[in-house]
Amino acid sequence: MVVRLLRRRSKTKPSHWSVHRSAHLRSLAGVDLQLSADEQAMAAGEAGPGCQLAMRVLTRTAQAMGAAQLRPITGAHIDSCLYHGQAGIDFAARLVEGEASVVVPTTLNVSSLDLLHPELYRGDEETGRAARHLMELYEQLGCEPTWTCAPYQLEERPSFGEHVAWAESNAIVFANSVLGARTHRYGDFIDIAAAITGRVPDAGLHTDAGRIATIVIDVHQIAAELLAADVAYPVLGHVIGGLVGTDICVIDGLPEGTNEDRLKALGASMASSGTVALFHAVGSTPEAPTLEIALGGQPPERTLTISMADMRAARDALSTAELMSAHPTSSAPLRGISLGTPHYSVAEFGRVRDLLDGRRIAPGFDAFISTGRGVLTELELRGWAETLREAGVQIVTDTCTYITPIIEDRPGPIMTDSAKWAYYAPGNLGVDVIFGSVEDCVESAVAGTLVRETGRWDG
């Protein structure tokens, strides 16, 4: 009976889909979903047809998750604003036409366009217009035009234990793992439905039981010299994601107090090679002061040890282009670098600036760094943006170079320090990739050819 009621649509009165306003909705998983009076009113259409549609999406999601109730949230981050086709526009337009608006602070993920640098877009005009229209629709819903995949770099971000509805895989894993906030892995349409209703299913990673690690990842065999370098973390994440999939792990053996940028790279690659939404790192993430606490006092189901051989194999797997030499410094027809997936932080830009040390990018060589508008504003205030531009660096905002046609289509591989970019770009863009450290990327960009240091990997 409930399935039938949830599917009902009145051509004249959309609010009639839940005319009985029952206090309980029978879950598909056999659990009663209890709605508060306010939630029943939204389900009945009293807040308008747009909110009613969002509530229908949310209640069906809750049913599928086996939630007994909904939980209020304090914020949301939306991935649905990234253009994938007409369905995304149709759904957003229906919400707008139904007078829906978000009821919690809501940030927007990357879009398909860089509105600050529109000349970078190399796609067809029709797709560009559609992408722009979708962006405008989400602004009409009351979302903040942040256009970043790293909302945790904004001035306001959720605190420990705060419940939010975040989409975008790297943002989800960062919020859960590094901030200790609570969000399930929400995808397109569910994210905006949560923002409009101010609710999420009280299930999964919103619960205490859903956040306990079941797998221990032992990294004590990885050389300390490698763990002291930024390049270790995207590679380690690539290994772990492929091993744990959707499970929650706790990493034992990382340097205590590992910084946010390294944890960002670790989580982003785990969420790419696997579907990790939460990890713990003993001594570095807030829910893992000890191994025992991260495991909830229970023995692990599995303990997996990562070796140096595993790390070298993962590093090599992230490169699709065949290197011309096994020597640490070798030449290849490299044509560019792309950094900033996820979006680069101020500190990461500072590292590139220091590595350039007044030098310029080689003529005819592409150097892209993607970031959010907030970070770009800080770079402008510090004078770093102009310094980087004068050196030949192209700063990209609002989007990312692995999802939007920005990089010129010409022969030669692209080098990156991002495991996520290396994972997705070959399929999305049809380019060959060489993975390396940020030091490798900058030196290669200055030399105009491949420069790769491998000594720290010998450990």
3-state secondary structure of 282: coil
3-state secondary structure of 250: strand
SS (H, E, C) 360-404: CCCCCCEEEEEECHHHHHHHHHHCHHHHHHHCCCEEEECCCCCCC
Using a 10 angstrom Cβ sphere, with 0-12 exposed, 13-18 middle and 19 or more buried, the burial of residue 148 is buried
Asked, as a colleague might, if the bond just before 426 is cis with ω within 30 of 0, I would say no
In terms of domains, do 114 and 126 share one?
yes
Closest CA to 417 of 298, 287, 265: 265
User: pTM value?
Assistant: 0.91
Identify the bridge partners of residue 421 per DSSP, sorted by sequence position.
Answer: none
In terms of domains, do 24 and 81 share one?
yes
Using a 10 angstrom Cβ sphere, with 0-12 exposed, 13-18 middle and 19 or more buried, the burial of residue 33 is buried
* Amino acid identity for residue 6 in this structure: L
In terms of domains, do 65 and 182 share one?
yes
In terms of domains, do 43 and 131 share one?
yes
Tokens encoding 50: 């747009």
In terms of domains, do 128 and 178 share one?
yes
In terms of domains, do 216 and 290 share one?
yes
Q: How far apart are the first and last CA of the chain?
A: 63
Per-residue pLDDT of the chain (459 residues; tens, 9 = 90+): 222 222 222 333 333 333 333 333 444 445 689 999 999 999 999 999 999 999 999 999 999 999 999 999 999 999 999 999 999 999 999 999 999 999 999 999 999 999 999 999 999 999 999 999 999 999 999 999 999 999 999 999 999 999 999 999 999 999 999 999 999 999 999 999 999 999 999 999 999 999 999 999 999 999 999 999 999 999 999 999 999 999 999 999 999 999 999 999 999 999 999 999 999 999 999 999 999 999 999 999 999 999 999 999 999 999 998 654 444 444 448 999 999 999 999 999 999 999 999 999 999 999 999 999 999 999 999 999 999 999 999 999 999 999 999 999 889 999 999 999 999 999 999 999 999 999 999 999 999 999 998 889 987
Closest CA to 249 of 264, 239, 235, 234: 239
Identify the bridge partners of residue 71 per DSSP, sorted by sequence position.
Answer: 200
In terms of domains, do 179 and 271 share one?
no
Q: Distance between CA atoms of 284 and 306, rounded to whole angstroms?
A: 18
Closest CA to 96 of 140, 148, 156: 140
In terms of domains, do 345 and 356 share one?
yes
Number of domain units in the chain: 3
Closest CA to 202 of 30, 47, 77, 61: 61
Residue 314 dihedral angles phi and psi, to the nearest 5°: -70, -40
Q: What is the CATH number of the domain that holds 37?
A: 3.30.499
Q: Distance between CA atoms of 26 and 34, rounded to whole angstroms?
A: 9
Choosing from 206, 225, 244, the residue where a domain stops is 206
Q: Distance between CA atoms of 366 and 446, rounded to whole angstroms?
A: 10
In terms of domains, do 401 and 425 share one?
yes
* Amino acid identity for residue 180 in this structure: G
Closest CA to 378 of 392, 388, 390: 388
Closest CA to 263 of 242, 277, 284, 244: 284
Using a 10 angstrom Cβ sphere, with 0-12 exposed, 13-18 middle and 19 or more buried, the burial of residue 317 is middle
Beta strand segments in 167-292, E: 199-201, 215-218, 249-252, 279-281
What is the residue whose two structure tokens read 């979006």?
A: 343
In terms of domains, do 308 and 189 share one?
no
In terms of domains, do 291 and 268 share one?
yes
Q: Which domain holds residue 257?
A: 212-316
Q: What is the CATH number of the domain that holds 447?
A: 3.30.499.10
**Where does residue 235 fall: left (phi above 0), alpha (psi -120 to 50 degrees), or beta otherwise?**
alpha
Choosing from 316, 335, 367, the residue where a domain stops is 316
Choosing from 316, 347, 376, the residue where a domain stops is 316
In terms of domains, do 11 and 142 share one?
yes
Can you list the alpha helix ranges (DSSP code H) found in 66-165? 86-97, 125-140
